[in-house]
Amino acid sequence: MLHSHGPKSPKSTSDDTRIKHSALSRLSRDLTRHTAEDGYMDSPESRKAYEEYYHPISRAKGDAVAREFLDRISAVGQYPSFLDRKDSPFVVADFGTGTGGLAEGILPVVLGSLPAETPVELWLYDKSEEALRIAPQNIRKTLTGLAVRIHPVRCTFPGSVRLPDTLHFLIQGNLLAEMDDGAADQIYRPLGETLRRMAPGGALIWVEPADRISSRRLLSLRDRMIKLYPEFIVLAPCPNLRNASCPALKTDKDWCHEDRPYAFSEDVRRLAKTVGHIKDSLKMTYIIAMKRHDDFPFRTSTMPVWRLVSELREETGLAWGIFCDGAERRRIRILKRYKNEGNKTFWKLGRGDTILPPPEDQMNARSGFWDLSPQAEIRLVPGSSENGAGSAMPEQGQDRPWT
């Protein structure tokens, strides 16, 4: 499904001149190579380039992942534990807030499911003074009418930071991509303190670019989190609530990312062209996790699902893809001459789609692949092709509610 784009990108709060394409090209090259200059957010030209091009992209990603978060918590029976609050503030921290793009995407969706009068406290963290000036303005515009108290905190991760005593939501976007490897490894220290302070039923959304380096940094952080703080359960994109180490990290060359069709505004597509990008999808690595709440046990599935974590590749005489069950990856392939009513869904699968696996006796392991037999039926988990990762899960006692 093609998602529609949100509101138009915010115009600069400082001036109305068009961004300089040279500034955007430089920024895009540096961000892609992980060599962004320290303080690029403090330079008017590059900050403006970021705000006009990357900001709406981050906002779209935030919106998509926040919607998936709501789907997932309702699928695993967590909805009331997290959202039933009215008088005390809902406290959110945003690490590496930049111009506030990711927060602008996530907050309206999450706050939209809270009682309207809920007070909101927003702690914004960044090393750039300019970012901490601009982000509150952008976020306030998006959250017009809500009672939001904003605390900008200037800091340089992985150094320690001032944190709220308790928080309910942690967001972090495109921050690890800008740190060096060592720093990304160490960020779990301030992050760990944040995770400890999170209320039961609290949640986090972390988003990074889809490239191998950024993705692996995020996946390593994910693995470290579930090892040190096993009370956090990964809801997405990893299926089946297994909280296992990420199988993509088993070899150096792998990573895991999404690529979801998305209709960006004309402005974003035009800017994309000037830097040689094609902007027709949301490309990202992301993690949604939630802190266990004793009163609301997670509803787990009796039947594990598998998520396609690669493109579906069609070659002469066959098609194959890499599937993940949250603990292991399998290359599954099928011969074209076996194509039939029962497996026709396989041929239409896209990255992020989630299926019910056929029984083991309908697959044969051979030369690093699992070959599907002609009898193997392939069924898509409902909703999974709309937002990737499989929003719905079969409930206990309802083994195949959609068949």
Ligand X SMILES: C[S@@+](CC[C@H](N)C(=O)[O-])C[C@H]1O[C@@H](n2cnc3c(N)ncnc32)[C@H](O)[C@@H]1O
- Write each residue from 199 to 238 as x if it is in contact with ligand X (CB under 6 A), else as -, in one continuous string: ----------------------------------------
Please answer whether residues 347 and 304 qualify as being in contact, where contact means their C-beta atoms are separated by less than 8 angstroms.
Answer: no
Question: Least CB distance from residue 65 to ligand X, whole Å?
Answer: 11
Contacts of 52 (CB under 8 A, 6+ apart): 9, 12, 19, 24, 267, 271
Site for ligand X in 129-148 (CB under 6 A): 131
Q: Is 128 in the site for ligand X (CB under 6 A)?
A: yes
Please answer whether residues 49 and 23 qualify as being in contact, where contact means their C-beta atoms are separated by less than 8 angstroms.
Answer: yes
Q: Got the DSSP string for 132-176?
A: HHHHHHHHHHHTTTS-EEEEEEE--TTS-----SSEEEEEEES-G
Task: Tell me which stretch binds ligand X (CB under 6 A): 138-146, 153-161, 282-290, 308-316.
Answer: 153-161
Token pair recorded at residue 16: 């109305």
Q: Is 156 in the site for ligand X (CB under 6 A)?
A: yes
- Write each residue from 285 to 314 as x if it is in contact with ligand X (CB under 6 A), else as -, in one continuous string: ------------------------------
Question: Least CB distance from residue 183 to ligand X, whole Å?
Answer: 6
Q: Is 104 in the site for ligand X (CB under 6 A)?
A: no
Closer CB to ligand X, residue 140 or residue 379?
Answer: 140
Beta bridge partners of 315: 318
| Size of residue set near ligand X by CB under 6 A | 21
Contacts of 195 (CB under 8 A, 6+ apart): 170, 204, 225, 229, 232, 291
Phi-psi region of 257 (alpha: psi -120 to 50; beta: other; left: phi over 0): beta
- Write each residue from 54 to 93 as x if it is in contact with ligand X (CB under 6 A), else as -, in one continuous string: xx--x-----------------------------------
Burial (Cβ within 10 Å: 0-12, 13-18, ≥19) of residue 251: exposed
Distance CA 69, CA 107 (A): 12
**Which residue's CB comes closest to ligand X?**
98
Q: Identify the residue among 9, 97, 343, 385 touching ligand X (CB under 6 A).
A: 97
Please answer whether residues 279 and 272 qualify as being in contact, where contact means their C-beta atoms are separated by less than 8 angstroms.
Answer: yes
- Write each residue from 41 to 60 as x if it is in contact with ligand X (CB under 6 A), else as -, in one continuous string: x------------xx--x--
Distance CA 284, CA 174 (A): 10
Q: Is 173 in the site for ligand X (CB under 6 A)?
A: yes
**Which residues of this chain interact with ligand X, rule CB under 6 A?**
41, 54-55, 58, 96-98, 101-102, 126-128, 131, 155-157, 173-175, 178-179
